[in-house]
Amino acid sequence: MRNMTKKLALMISLTLTTFACNAQWYEAQGHASIDRSTVEIARTKAMENALKKALLVAGASVSSIQQVVNGLLTQDQLSIRASGSVNSIELIDEIHSNNMISVTIRADIFPQEKKCFALDFKKSILLTKSHLKYREQANIGNIYQLDSATIRLLNKKLQSQSNYSASKALLKSSTQFSRLNASFNEEKIKQLSISLADTTDSQYILFSEINDISFEQQRSNSWKVWEQGTYPRNFDFTLYLYSGVNGELIWQENYQNTDIWDFNKRKSIDVNSTIFWQSKYGNMISSLLDRMVSDIDENIMCEPSEGKILQVKGNQIMINLGRHHGVKVGDEFTLLHSNNFTNTQGKTYAGYNVSPFKVKVTKVTKQSATAATIDNSLLGNIQINDLAVRY
């Protein structure tokens, strides 16, 4: 039986206390559902992920947590591609409420050379309508709208669970991504990503494909010959995250699982209904979407927050990042001047020259911010569509 434990929506808060050898305390809080797990498993998952997030914030790259005993992390046996290490881990709080468990851990981590300074900012992500590769597989249940329904729910989960993204969905029309992806037309995908980012003020573009929703041949209740047969149905889904600044592929991942289709095969099912999402099959997809939210957060949390310059006036600029993305008065940004180039094969690459100017935010609205040079000097060759970056 495949692991159906829901991924955790984690909120990370950072508490730094200096002590001997310059180690620092990182505090992480995790929440997990106990519906499909024992308390011990839910607690373990919360603590593992909380420690992983704390290490990522500290600048480490963690691949696995090796040893868990009785639901408590007892050793710092982790695979870490960094120079830092974990000195100790403490479980400092645990709360149970409405089939949910909330734990707070505190990890004593030696500092890394590189810190995650972009952690406080949310990155804007545009979710595009998914593509159902084999539409004939949707005949049973008449679930042709699963492509948009899945992205609609993913967008809702990102908005409610993600700590590092500000998402929006484009569902009224499909993009050309799947056709371009099938023909390995990377250059056109780059252009598509940049174009969508420009028109929607997004830092990232998320494309997706539903690869398989077929039924397995072996019925799940074959021994109950007096009952109507129930059959497992597959769900195979791939995410592609592209940079809206240069159109390059940042990350991709495949998710797949199988569960019972507990509806009559002749009945049409509304994939936007509560009945569908509370079914075994709908719950399975929802659990995969929870994993996706966690994985998206992990892959963008320490990426630079990049805002496009919308206006240049004297020593001031306006950028397309605002309060909605976590920007505050007093935040400082580095300016990058666009310097794109094309190679001899006709491929376009995004290049940037680091400007000597740094700016500090003086005014913030929900979707934009105004910033001025720290020394009041004029901005020289900085132009509209150049970048303001927070590393």
pLDDT of residue 224: 44
Instruction: Please tell me whether residue 103 adopts helix, strand or coil conformation.
Output: strand
How far apart are alpha carbons 125 and 170 in whole angstroms? Answer: 11
Topology classification of domain 305-390: Thrombin, subunit H (2.40.10)
Domain with CATH 3.40.50.10610 in the chain: 119-300
How far apart are alpha carbons 248 and 256 in whole angstroms? Answer: 25
Number of CB atoms found within 10 A of residue 86's CB:
23
Give the CB-side neighbour count of residue 254, counting CA atoms within 13 A. 6
> Tens digits of per-residue pLDDT, 113-165?
445 656 678 999 999 999 999 999 999 999 999 999 999 999 999 999 998 99
Domain with CATH 3.30.1660.40 in the chain: 9-115
379 in Cβ contact with 323 (< 8 Å): no
pLDDT of residue 81: 37
pLDDT of residue 37: 63
Number of CB atoms found within 10 A of residue 291's CB:
17
> Tens digits of per-residue pLDDT, 179-195?
999 999 999 999 999 99
Number of CB atoms found within 10 A of residue 199's CB:
10
Please determine, looking at this structure, whether the domain spanning 9-115 carries the CATH number 3.40.50.300: no
Give the CB-side neighbour count of residue 290, counting CA atoms within 13 A. 17
Residue 244 CB-density burial (10 A; 0-12 exposed, 13-18 middle, 19+ buried): buried
CATH superfamily for domain 119-300: ABC-type transport auxiliary lipoprotein component (3.40.50.10610)
pLDDT of residue 85: 56
pLDDT of residue 318: 97
Instruction: Please tell me whether residue 2 adopts helix, strand or coil conformation.
Output: coil
Distance of CA 288 to the CA centre of its chain: 13
What's the average pLDDT block by block, 10 residues per block, for the chain (391 residues)?
34 34 66 72 78 65 41 41 57 82 77 57 95 96 97 97 93 95 94 95 97 83 48 96 93 95 93 96 95 91 88 95 93 86 71 84 96 90 90 73
Which segments of the chain does DSSP mark as H helices, in order? 39-58, 146-161, 177-182, 186-200, 274-277, 280-300
pLDDT of residue 7: 34
Token digits for 47?
């603590």
123 in Cβ contact with 303 (< 8 Å): yes
Domain with CATH 2.40.10.410 in the chain: 305-390
